[in-house]
Structure formats: C-alpha cells, structure tokens
Amino acid sequence: MKKIKLLLFLLFLSFLSYSQAGQINQINIISFNVKNTLPASIDEWINTPAALIMVAQKVPGSASLREPRMVVQLKSGGNVICGNNIATAKMVDPFDVRTFNTIDLTGFLTNCRELKEGYYTICAQFFNVDRVPISKEVCRDFRIETPIVDYAPPTLITPENEKKYSVSELQRPVIFRWTPLVPKPKETVTYRLKVWQLLQGQNATTASKTNTPIFTTDVKDQTQTVAPSLLANPCTAPYLCSFVWEIQALNKNGKPLGNNNGTSEAFTFSTKDDTKPVKEPANPSVVSNDATPPKNVFPDDNKKIDLADAKKEIKFSWTSVKPKPQEPVIYKLKVWQLMQGQTATAAIKNNKPFAEKSITDNTETTITNFLTAPCKPPYLCDFVWNVQALNREGKPVGPNEGNSQPTMFFISQYIIQIDSIKVLCTDKPGTYTFSYTVKNVNAGTAKLSNLAITSSTPAGASFGAYAPAIGSSINSGNSLTINGIINAAPNLSNICIGAEITDVVNTFWKASKDTCINVATCRCDACDEKNFVVKAPLPEKINWTNNSLSFNQPISISTTPPKTIKTITAELVYFEMTPQSADCLPCNKEDKLYGHFANGTNTQVWTGVPTNLNISITTPNTPCCSTLFRWCIRYKIEFTDCTVCSKVICYEKKKDGCAPTNTNPDVPTKQPFNQ
C-alpha cells in the first residue's frame, strides 16, 4: 500500500495541535484491504487468500496506548447486523505497527451467522480503556455471492442397462442403486426413483415421457431403495415385460439439482423372454390358486429394532399377489409375540395375535405405539409376522391359504445412551483429546464392552491411550466418561466414535451406538513466540542517494522444533513520504514510479538462509528539500514443511535539504515490530 501525503507545513502543525487536544489520532488505520467477493460463511473467510488485511500504526509521538480495544462490525444498508460494540470491545495488545489478518479480524465476528447474498460493509475502529475513540472508523464494502455449483447428476448402477430378469425375480423385491450428486451438496438431497413399463411399439424414451410410472418413491440422502414388486401389469398385450428407470435429484423445495435437470441417464431392463406372457386365470373374476402369494419385505427376517423406535411405530411391507387380480385384494397382517421356550410356529398356532390389521390393495402399513411397555416374563421381545391375501368374500388368494412365509424380528430392550462427545486439538499437530460420556439407563449394572472409531474424515484416525479401560462398570442410572487421545490427520474435520455396553448379569443383553462430531479447525501455533523467533535489528545505516533508499537488514531465525528455511520474502506493505513542501515534488507525481523495491515490484525473494538482506527502494528525487520517508516491510519466512511465519518492521529516514537540520540522519527512529 503506497501513499504520498503532501502536507503544507501549517496544515501539519494544525494536525498536530488537533491530535494533542484529543485522542482520536492515537492510532492510524493506514490500510484496510477487503476482497471484493467473499463466501457466505464467515468461517470460510480464513480459507480465502488475503480475504482481510488491515495495518494499523500508533501515531508517532502520541501517548502510550493503554489497553487499546477494537470494534469490528458488519453492516448492511447502514445497519449493524453483527460484530462487537463499544461495550463489548475486545482488548488488543499495545503496538507500534500491527498487521491484522483474516483470523484476527473474524475473531471479532463470532456472533455473525451465514450471510445472505448481497452487499455489505465491514468497519473497524479503536477505543481506549475508557471507551473513547482513538482512531477514525475505517470501512470497506464487499459482496457476498452464492457460488454456483455444477453438480454431476446421479449415475445408475443396478439394475445395469439392458439387464435380463426372470419373471419370478421381478415378482420379488428389486434393489435399485445409483451414485450421489458430485460434489456432495450441503443441503439434504431427495432422490426420486421412477420406473415405467413399456407398451408395444414404444421405446424407453417414449415410455418415460407418456406412460404413468408403475413405481415411484423418494429417498433422502440415500443412494439405494427397494421396489416391492414391478409387475404391476401382466405381460400381455399391450404391456411388455420391458422397463425403463431413472433417478432425479431434488433439493428441499422439490427443485432439480444438477445438470440435465438433475436427472440420470435412463436404463432399461426386461424379462429373459419379454414376449412370453404371465399365465392369467381363465376367468379374471375368480382368483386362481396359481397366483403367487405375498412375501414379507420389512421387517426382514431376524431384523433387530430398538425399543425406542418400537415405542413409536413399526412399518410393515410386503409384495403384492401376482398376477394382480382385477378384484380388490385384502391383505391381513398378523403379528405374534413369542413366550419363553416357544418357537415361531408354536406362537402362531397357540398365541393370540399381538397385533393385526387389514389393508385393501396396498402393500404396506404402519402400526403406531407398537410396544408401550418393556417385555416381561413369560413374554419375550421376539415377534413373528405374516400377511394373508384374501378376496372380498374372505377367501384365500393363491396357494398356502394366501399366506406369506412368516419371518421373525426382535426388539432390543437394552439401551445405550450417549450423553456427550468432545474432540479438541492439542499443541501437537495430529494429536487430539477426546471425552465421551456413556449412560446406562437400564435396570442392572452394565460394563463398557467396546469402544471404537467407526469413521473419520480424513480416514485413518485411531485411539491412543484412554481411560477408564474396557470392562469398566456403569451402575444403573449412572454415566461413564472416557477421556483419552486420538491420533489422526492434522486436518481432521469429522469423527464418529461408537461404544457398546453389556449387562453384567445377562451377557446376551447388549447395546451399541456411534455418534459423530465435526472437529474445529486446529489453530496453528508454529509462529507463536515460543516456537518462532526472528532477530532483525535495525540496520546501522540507511542511505539515500538521488532517488533510492538502500540498506542491509541483518536477520536470524530460530524455531522449535528446528526447521529448514525454504525462502524469505520481503513485502513492502506501507510507504509514505512527507516533503518539506509540495513544491519539492517533481512535476511527475505518478506514484507508480516510486515506492517499490528496485526490481519494480513490492516483493523481493531470497532462497536459503541469508544473514543479510540487501534492500533498495525507489523514491522521488527531491534534491534540495528536507523529506521524511516512512515504510514498513513484512518479512515472510516459508519453511520446507510448508508453514509460513512473518514479522513486520517499520523504518524512518529523514533526508535533509540544502540546509541540514539533523546531525545524525542515518539512525532510524522506529523500533522493530514483531507480527
């Protein structure tokens, strides 16, 4: 940032008088750079290069800063929307010159939520301990733009294109799988599956555009689903046993997400001989015993259901009778509860149904409040269920008296409750502390039987030491907190930890559950004073010749642990010249011609480990005028492990005119400032 301040002598005196009379000019915000466009999430600003950079300088000769405080606010339409205020102004350490980066400035905006698209203003101002302003408020405008993400639509996986099924296979549940949107959206994605049956003379495109789907379902954030049965119409003219299917991705408002209207390419599948019709009854009004009875779909055999879910509702689904009769089909659902020592067959034969329900021409139903109390002897939490197909006269449809094959499901009475999970950074990159609290809400004493990391992003996280150990007891109604170490990538962003508890008396009673948590970005302390020390004393002599300032900057760097320096970069972040009079400036006042390093830019790079940095800065030529030069250089040190630390040093040089007024002009008046 370059500035040329041309001040008349009297104006300069009046400025000094004003600063002495009040405290408004104790600090100058000499530059405040804000990127024109920023992400909506303020947390993402730290990942945006040079999102916010502000350089502030204590006014030379002003009183010492006493507990300075800073206020940073975001405004929209002139109104403050978030940030701190005078009452909550955050104290900063006293400084001569300081560069505030994105992390520093966003630390004042912790109460800001995600911003909507539009124009905003960010303002900064300093105050003293008495809440009196000691700087002017400096504001910069920027815009929030919602990035347009180009999502690749789903790709179909199975049934693969042109797959051949037997008729019996399509009368059973068919699994559909596909890939998710890429990249993964932050919002919930609904995937809509549609299946069409082709008519004679149709191709897949015509069928999907003109026919009514024989099966449609929506799933959220899942990439597979099951169709109970697909032969909704017999394979007799005009219907073929050929099908087409596709997936469309939708947002929460039902609008398409991704290219091609969020729709996948269409795949076809058919029976091995789609010209061979399914056998129909001679008289459609009479149900044939050749019909295929229903089959249980969910709960599938030996399914385990949590007690908490069973207290709310259980959904039952099955396949329809095939071929579909012209008259309505009544499906009678029955559920039996087993007793101690009983088999499923004995329970069906001897026990009264625990629940039953009749549904007409539908293949699913829900029983709410399925289990209102724990299972107590002699009853078990084991259940068996089936469905019987009946016509409207109450006669069975199909063989086996129209009954599906019974299947079992179990309700787990044993519960594990995860009360809290915390994962925090440590001083050592890649090492985290964790705290995980498990509660035993069961009647008897439990023990911790397993603890595992079920997943992490990036993958590969593992436990270090933790306590208490596996096997620790948890009394009924009590909690157990496990504390320990996790070893993972330094950029760990999410981790899932699972625990299992087992009843001490009845070891068959177990419950397990995993819980996931986002891990906050770890603060890098590689550049803290304890780990990074730069010794850069002011040069003994600064020369001004014609139109150039030149000097040698001694520099030495030490780190803990030791690191290898890759490059040192000098960045000229501030340049100011104050001549004795505006008339002293050359006719060409174009500031692009000076205030740079000798290479014509504001950046100069050294490789390796130099001990002296030879620096030259171009200036205007004011041969017979006294001139005061001020400039600040940020020295950026990059190490071979890719960490980058920096230090800002500010300088002054007084060049006397034809009548010198300074007997020792080569001694800089500024002290180094460690950033």
Q: How many CB atoms lie within 10 A of CB 197?
A: 23
Asked if 330 contacts 393 with a C-beta cutoff of 8 angstroms, the reply is no
Q: Are residues 259 and 160 in the same domain?
A: yes
| Interacting residues of 277 by C-beta distance below 8 A, sequence separation 6+ | 234, 235, 236
The reported pLDDT for the residue numbered 18 is: 41
* pLDDT for the residue 254: 87
Q: What is the per-residue pLDDT for 234?
A: 60
Return the closest-CA partner of residue 278 out of 229, 317, 205, 244.
229
pLDDT, residue 6, reads 34
Residue 281 lies in a domain: no
127-163 confidence digits (pLDDT tens)? 998 888 999 999 999 999 877 777 888 999 999 999 9
Asked whether residue 197 falls in the same domain as residue 170, the answer is yes
Residues 109 and 234 placed together within one structural domain of the fold:
no
Which amino acid belongs to residue 447? Answer: K
Q: What is the pLDDT of residues 206-235, one digit of tens each?
A: 888 888 898 899 999 999 999 887 875 567
Whether 593 has a pLDDT exceeding 90, the answer reads no
pLDDT at 3 over 50: no
Structure confidence at residue 444 (pLDDT): 86
pLDDT at 286 over 70: no
Q: Please say which residue of 84, 117, 144 terminates a domain.
A: 144
* Structural domain for 553, as ranges: 532-655
CATH number at residue 638: 2.60.40
**Number of other CB atoms surrounding residue 243 within 10 Å:** 26
Burial of 568 (0-12, 13-18, 19+ CB in 10 A): buried
Q: Is the pLDDT of residue 598 over 70?
A: yes
Quickly state the pLDDT bin for 666 (edges 50, 70, 90). Answer: low
Query: Is the same domain home to 394 and 425?
Result: no
Asked if residue 527 is part of any domain, the answer here is no
**Whole-model pTM over 0.85:** no
pLDDT given for residue 325 in this prediction = 85
Do 462 and 392 share a structural domain?
Answer: no
pLDDT of 498 strictly over 60: yes
Q: What does the block give as tokens for 383?
A: 């259940």
Q: What is the mean pLDDT of residues 441-445?
A: 85
276 found inside a domain: no
Instruction: Give yes or no for a contact between 405 and 359, defined as CB atoms under 8 angstroms apart.
Output: no
**665 occurs within a structural domain:** no
Answer whether residue 609 shows pLDDT above 90: no
Please give the structure tokens belonging to residue 508: 């068959």
In terms of domains, do 226 and 261 share one?
yes
Q: Is residue 669's pLDDT more than 70?
A: no
Mean pLDDT over the full length of the chain: 84
CA distance 285 to 282: 9
Q: Could you read off the pLDDT of 507-566 as tens digits, one per residue?
A: 877 888 888 999 988 877 788 888 899 999 999 899 988 788 999 999 999 998 899 999
pLDDT (0 to 100) of residue 588: 61
Q: Between 77 and 587, whose confidence is greater?
A: 77
Question: Does the structure show a pLDDT above 80 at 591?
Answer: no
Residue given tokens 């300032």 in the structure block = 549
If asked whether residues 463 and 584 sit together in one domain, one would say: no
Q: Is residue 150 part of a domain?
A: no
User: pLDDT at position 21, please?
Assistant: 39
Q: Does 377 reside within a domain?
A: yes
Is 291 a member of any domain? no
* Domain at 312, CATH number: 2.60.40.10
The helix (H) or strand (E) run that includes residue 21 is helix 9-21
Please give the angle made by the CA atoms of 412, 416 and 421, to the nearest 5 degrees: 150
333, β-bridge pairs: 357, 387
Same-domain pairing of 110 and 220: no
- Which helix H or strand E contains 124, and what residues bound it? strand 118-127
Distance of alpha carbon 34 from alpha carbon 74, whole angstroms:
12
Q: Are residues 87 and 52 in the same domain?
A: yes
Which of 97, 121, 144 finishes a domain? 144
**227 and 190 in one domain?**
yes
Same domain? 408 vs 490: no
Q: How many domains does the chain have?
A: 5
Closest among 286, 521, 307 to 423, alpha carbons compared: 521
Neighbours of 393 (CB within 10 A): 8
pLDDT digit string, tens, across residues 379-400: 888 899 999 999 988 899 988 8
306 vs 109: which has the higher pLDDT: 109
Q: Within this chain, do residues 317 and 351 fall inside the same structural domain, yes or no? A: yes
**Location of structure tokens 């795949």:** 267
Does residue 555 lie in a domain region? yes
pLDDT at 291 over 90: no
Pick the last residue of a domain from 91, 122, 144: 144
